[in-house]
Structure 1
């Protein structure tokens, strides 16, 4: 091979290497460009999604739905609790977003009390409404019924805030003729409340909330029927759940009252409800302490074995199934939990003095919990 051919061969090799480098560089550029495009598209999609998420969260849940919902904000509620209440009632998308939003806007001064809010309201409108509140002096008579109170305690609150004597209130809510008139007017009421074994026929049906009256001395009927109307409105929000339920409205309110008596934290309501359903499905006695206290007609600081011996249709340590009627007047969160129990395998629970609830699947596990915390 002469020098000229060797020179041509070297040049060809260099040309091929240069071409390979150019092809590699082209591939790299294409990969980099593709990555950049992917990142840009991803960021664009994320940004667009975030924009629409924020927009939907700040906007009304349903701008065409102007039905007013009665919302109760308990005294001392944190922003987290308020957000949970609004989310549970379908007024906002996300309780956490609500909490971060009011922190971002540095909002404060929310007022405890009862409000009428609708799904057509934006988050900013809801915030304004919760800050304005309703002043008691706007009304001649105002009082608040806390969740979980016995009917006899509710009547005392009414008596203390009106001109009505306690005995007159007690007679009215036991008047069979009046009760039958109410059954004909309110779909939430049925003949179940006329069971002779029930202590107070309207127990469980007087909705806990704040009540305001313009007139100076509203009649007993006006007061009672205002409370029944609230109950009917709240229960009406869950008609689909009630239709799907194997239990009657009376039984659901009874379960809700037990949940109200047991749950100290909102997150426990659904799980406790699940325990009650599991026990009912296995034909086990419910064995919940608040029913024993109600059977005795006194609040017990601790349920002892001697208390369990009482022969009462409310004592779930002696009867199988759901008690004859509610044992207090539950709030909406407990009513909802009674209709939407959490699915799990637990059959037992124990509430500690600190308010924590410990769940167990077996009796042996439950006994270990009792030995640990009771001893």
Structure 2
């Protein structure tokens, strides 16, 4: 019969129980440490995420209130809007801003042209979007009519009014050297020598033929301007043989015709005025047209004063003799043909009756001054100061004598 060492068995059992208790205690401790670590990470992550999101929705630069123009296209989603604002550096993070917009349940946001700045936080931006910006021009088929005597700056305003393109975009294009070079290759006989002309304010001034053009929705600005130059090219090709009747190049014809355009109304008067200007060029007299002063000044004025005559510009034909570097506007074919086929007379002066627009011509300064006194000065008699400063009559002739150094009769 076997015998058992009960003492040993009891000690082993007790040792095993003690081990299990210790193991359980350590397990509990490890679990608690893991739980505490996880909770700590979660709390830290939550706080970090909270402060990160809070920072992300704050302003990019609270001290920068410089206006940034932003266009939100029609049909843009919240994700699209967030991406546009991030590209413009108005928000920190487009992903979080997109979520913010969704959580705000802001509904349909307005498309349009907006003004933001970096000092705006997410709430300010959303309020601006909900308020709505300037409406986006609807790109539809339309017609654009360039009126005779319109200059490029005026055409740019017409383009902005009738198409999705801005006046600034138009002026940038018509001054773009690469674009002008491409036009010169496309229309070499019309524009081939244009890049060699010095002193031009706008190279394409005068070369956008006055006519009505079709704008088709989606057409590029390059296509539209090229269409206008192409029309001028067709008109130019039709009269190339007529240029044999004048000593001027077509560019010079356009330049003089652009002045004739604004000085005369009827075909008869335009031919007479062209003849007067050519007479002046022949004897070295400045053309002395107010049209040239207004263009040199870059503004419209009812009165041209003696001070205005001093504006430094090659387009100022009170100050300089001959022709300007280029046209002042887009002249009509009537003015172009009047310049090629002028009415030759002995006249060196002309003045318009400001009431009837009838034009009177004279061969000498005395007769001219008498006509000015009769048909121009009474128009300004209620404003004596303006009359005193108005560049007419003897005052103009004094300026002429100073410029060319001789008495012009």
TM range (shorter): 0.5 to 0.7
Corresponding residue number in structure 1 for 2:60: none
Instruction: Provide the aligned C-alpha RMSD in A.
Output: 1.5
Corresponding residue number in structure 2 for 1:72: none
Corresponding residue number in structure 2 for 1:272: 273
Partner deviation per Cα, 1:305-332 (whole Å, 9 max, x = no partner) = 1111111100100101011110111111
1:258 aligns with 2:270: no
Hey, what's the Cα distance between the residues in 2 that align with 1:220 and 1:193?
21
1:200-215 to 2 correspondences below 5 Å: 200-213=202-215, 215=216
Kept in 2, the 8 Å contact 1:156–1:166? The answer is yes
Corresponding residue number in structure 1 for 2:359: 357
Kept in 1, the 8 Å contact 2:274–2:343? The answer is yes
Give the TM-score, by structure 2 length: 0.56
SS in 2 for 1:188: helix
Corresponding residue number in structure 1 for 2:156: 155
Runs of 4+ that moved beyond 6 A? none
SS in 1 for 2:190: coil
1:1-375 to 2 correspondences below 5 Å: 140-186=141-187, 187-192=189-194, 195=197, 197-213=199-215, 215-354=216-355, 355-375=357-377
Hey, what's the Cα distance between the residues in 1 that align with 2:152 and 2:372?
32
Is the deviation greater in 299-308 or in 341-350? 299-308
SS in 1 for 2:144: strand
Structure with greater Cα Rg: 2
Unaligned runs of 5+ in 2: 1-139, 378-409
| Post-superposition offset of 1:217 | 2.2
Hey, what's the Cα distance between the residues in 2 that align with 1:368 and 1:166?
44
Unaligned runs of 5+ in 1: 1-138
Kept in 1, the 8 Å contact 2:351–2:360? The answer is yes
Higher relative contact order (CA 8 A, sep 6+): 1
Hey, what's the Cα distance between the residues in 2 that align with 1:313 and 1:286?
13
Hey, what's the Cα distance between the residues in 1 that align with 2:195 and 2:255?
11
Give the TM-score, by structure 1 length: 0.61
Kept in 2, the 8 Å contact 1:147–1:330? The answer is yes
| Post-superposition offset of 1:264 | 2.3
Aligned length: 236
